[in-house]
Amino acid sequence: MTSYVARRLLQAVPLLFGVLTLVFIFMHVAPGDPTALYMRPDVDPAVLEQMRRNWGLDQPLYIQYFRWIASFLTGDFGFSLTQNRPVSDILLERVPNTLILSGTSLLLIFAIGIAIGIVQAVRQYSTMDNVLTVGALFIYSMPSFWLGLMLILIFAYKVHQLDWWPEFLKFPASGVTSTNYDLFGAGQKLGDRIRHLVLPSIALGVSSAASVARYMRSSMLEVIRQDYIRTARAKGVPERSVILKHALKNALLPIITLLGLYLPFLFSGAVLVEYVFSWPGMGRTIVDAIYQRDYPTVMATSFIFAALVVVANLIADILYALVDPRIRYE
Amino acid sequence: MNDMPERSGEIRHRALRLLMALIPGLAHLRQGHTHAGLSLLGLALSMITVSIFANERIQATFTAGRLDYWVALLTLAVTLGLTWVVSGVSSRHRLDARVGGSQWAIAWLGFKQNRVAMLGLYLMIALYLATLLGPFLTGYEPSVIGDIAATRHLPPSVEHLMGTDKFGRDVFTRVLYGARISLSIGFIAVTISITLGTAIGAVSGYFGGAVDTVLMRLVDTLISFPRLVLLITVIALFEPSLLIVIVVLGFTLWPSTARIVRGEVLSLREREFILAARALGLNSPRIILRHIVPNVLGPVIVAATLGLGNIILIEAGLSYLGFSVPLPTPTWGNIINDGREAMLQAWWVTTFPGLAIVITVVAFNLVGDGLRDALDPRLRT
């Protein structure tokens, strides 16, 4: 097991360097350099030149490259051109929000997807199975940002016109917390946060849940056909525990690999969903930074996104090896 | 006197043949191919309906001097002509693929029996036709702003099928013209990324060794970036325009295809016919192009169709954020963004373009799934 983990770690390192190199290339293609922040009529061009020299921007490219990598690896992502503070400060504030949103979505995706997949597999070719398959196809084909807008339209606005609609099913349209959040008690604070999470995490997760359901269905069907399941049934194990105990464990194995696969997809969606729900996460940050041509922030955020994906893949692989011993000795 | 029945029979026979030549699909219907017959007949009828209703606009083609009018007219004529030709040819020579048909003919037969996939195919054809015929299907212009006070935020009605937006423009017209951008960007970008992906995957899998390592590390790196993040990061370096969006989409989405192709090539490489080709002394480019690529075409076509749906979703997201084709050109994404601020008063502006996206992507996914079932010999019994 240790050697497997070590091997996977060693594979992740060059990947991170690849990501860094790519971001460095983007950074150099981008117009302007860090001194753009100080480029004003009242600043002498000679001063700018001096700044360039101080920051090492006059050095050969490869020296800049290694310095840049060293600074990125130590968490120094440069200075934001518009917010007048280090990019790392901005990211420290924003990354947790994205992780909360994506994490909630991920939970939702797997919980809903696995449950639906099991139901479909157990009742293969029933009306229920067909309805769910068609429904999944439509949901899978929906743009997440549009779904988000529709959810806002219905559950944040239109339901207020209905008298009989229960109060707890009306959700806020944007933000992480309400404006009077600071006045709440601890329990209320948590509730407020959860209420704000509902719509964005559904918008973000529902399409992936549809595709998890699809994988789960076929994985479950494959397992159900195996001999050991027939044995379990033959010795009189109740159907419920045949499915939920004997079959589920093995059917879940291939689903774990999806965990790593869905994260980049989820982050892509997060860029749009955060924009729709004014959710102050990394997606919102990168979009705003592009509007304002704040390249250091853009590049650092896109690096963090990629680094998170690499780490998540690593975790998914290790998890898979933990639950499936066959992988370790491959 | 007694040859009357015979003669009337002959007249009837001739009349029928004339009718069958005149009305596309009738021959198929008589032969019992209801499916093919009805679709040909339906296609011809819908084209004729369009030409009757768009009579004025068709005449305007010759004076307006606009390219999209000419494209629409050409589409109308070609489609109408094709229904007759196809109807005439295919009713006489129906190929029987079960006996000695090619790989593709067998796949087509399998695809045809998949009713859901055929539904997707019809939807896809209808979408492309609607896009090409755009100017004839609507009486409005997509970007011309009229009397705002009178036409602003009108709800859907017979006159404005999908209502009007904040500038009083007809949303149906904008969605129709937006389809053009979405479908053509999708088509070109998929062509670029599939070609690149196939080439790189084939080279990587065939040569192996250092080439493979370098290329696959590049693929791993590109895949580590969430797609949309990579796209907006690259697009941020340029001014967004139609060309930039197509090029960036095409050049960033190839890695997944390359991975699929490489996997296929790795197993093909060890097969006898490739060894034979090598033993014959064929050079590598020839082996790759003539012997490897044709054998991976199946999965590549499936990836392309499913990729088209995906790219349409991605482009919608990009133009929703304003990183795609600039305004006032309508795209599905930017119409949705346009309607966002007034969503409460005018829900139709955001809702309908989204539905158009969903239907389009569903169509491509249905066709893609059908193609996978039809092209994958492992699934065929």
pLDDT at A170: 74
10 Å Cβ neighbour count for B362?
20
* Cβ within 8 Å, pair B220-A15: yes
Half-sphere exposure of B161 (CA within 13 A, CB side): 11
Confirm whether B110 is domain-assigned. Answer: no
B281 Cβ under 8 Å from any chain A Cβ:
no
B329: domain CATH number is 1.10.3720.10
The residue to which tokens 């539904």 are assigned = B119
Taking CA atoms, B65 is separated from B15, B57, B145, in Å, by 42, 12, 21
Confirm whether B123 is domain-assigned. Answer: no
Confirm whether B122 is domain-assigned. Answer: no
B103 Cβ under 8 Å from any chain A Cβ:
no
CB of A303 within 8 A of CB of A19? yes
Chain B partners within 8 Å of A302 (Cβ): 225, 229-230, 233
pTM score of the predicted model: 0.83
Looking at the fold, whether B83 and B152 belong to one and the same domain comes out as: no
Inform me whether the pLDDT recorded for B96 exceeds 60. no
Instruction: Please name the CATH architecture into which domain A95-323 falls.
Output: Orthogonal Bundle (1.10)
Instruction: Give the total number of structural domains in chain B.
Output: 2
**Arithmetic mean of pLDDT, B83-105:** 65
Global ipTM: 0.83
* pLDDT digits 0-9 by tens, B184-223: 888 888 899 899 988 888 888 888 888 888 888 888 888 8
Looking at the fold, whether B81 and B198 belong to one and the same domain comes out as: no
B229 Cβ under 8 Å from any chain A Cβ:
yes
* Cβ within 8 Å, pair B343-A31: no
pLDDT at B381: 37
Confirm whether B165 is domain-assigned. Answer: yes
Inform me whether the pLDDT recorded for B1 exceeds 60. no
Highest mean pLDDT out of A110-114, B28-32, B131-135, B268-272: A110-114
A204 Cβ under 8 Å from any chain B Cβ:
no
Looking at the fold, whether B5 and B68 belong to one and the same domain comes out as: yes
Low-confidence ranges of chain A (pLDDT < 50): none
Confidence band, pLDDT 50/70/90 cuts, at residue B133: confident
Greatest alpha-carbon pair distance for chain B in Å reads: 91
Give the span between the Cα atoms of A128 and A107, in whole angstroms. 24
Give the span between the Cα atoms of B349 and B172, in whole angstroms. 9
* pLDDT digits 0-9 by tens, A211-232: 888 888 888 888 888 888 888 8
pLDDT at A28: 78
Q: In the structure encoding, which two tokens stand for residue B247, read together? A: 């090029």
Inform me whether the pLDDT recorded for B233 exceeds 70. yes
Q: What is the mean pLDDT of chain B?
A: 79
CB of B27 within 8 A of CB of B41? no
Looking at the fold, whether B215 and B77 belong to one and the same domain comes out as: no
* Cβ within 8 Å, pair B225-A265: no
**Arithmetic mean of pLDDT, B281-295:** 84
Confidence band, pLDDT 50/70/90 cuts, at residue B318: confident
* pLDDT digits 0-9 by tens, B31-87: 777 777 777 778 878 877 877 777 777 777 777 667 777 777 787 778 877 777 777
Q: In this structure, which amino acid lies at residue A229?
A: I
Of A26, A137, A138, the CB nearest to B233: A26
pLDDT at A35: 66
Task: Name the CA radius of gyration of chain A, rounded.
Answer: 25
B342 Cβ under 8 Å from any chain A Cβ:
no
Among candidate residues B54, B78, B94, the one where a domain is terminated: B94
Instruction: Compute the Cα dihedral for A65, A71, A75, A78 and give only its sign.
Output: negative
Looking at the fold, whether B84 and B157 belong to one and the same domain comes out as: no
Give the span between the Cα atoms of A271 and B186, in whole angstroms. 21
Residue B369 structural domain? 148-379
CB of A109 within 8 A of CB of A99? no
Among candidate residues B94, B113, B140, the one where a domain is terminated: B94
* Cβ within 8 Å, pair B344-A19: no
CB of B296 within 8 A of CB of B377? no
Residues within 8 A of B (CB atoms), A 129-168 only: 137-138, 140-147, 149-150, 152-153, 157
Among candidate residues B94, B129, B161, the one where a domain is terminated: B94
Chain A partners within 8 Å of B358 (Cβ): 138, 141-143, 146
Confidence band, pLDDT 50/70/90 cuts, at residue B380: very low
Looking at the fold, whether B155 and B28 belong to one and the same domain comes out as: no
For chain A, what are the domain ranges? 95-323
Looking at the fold, whether B179 and B249 belong to one and the same domain comes out as: yes
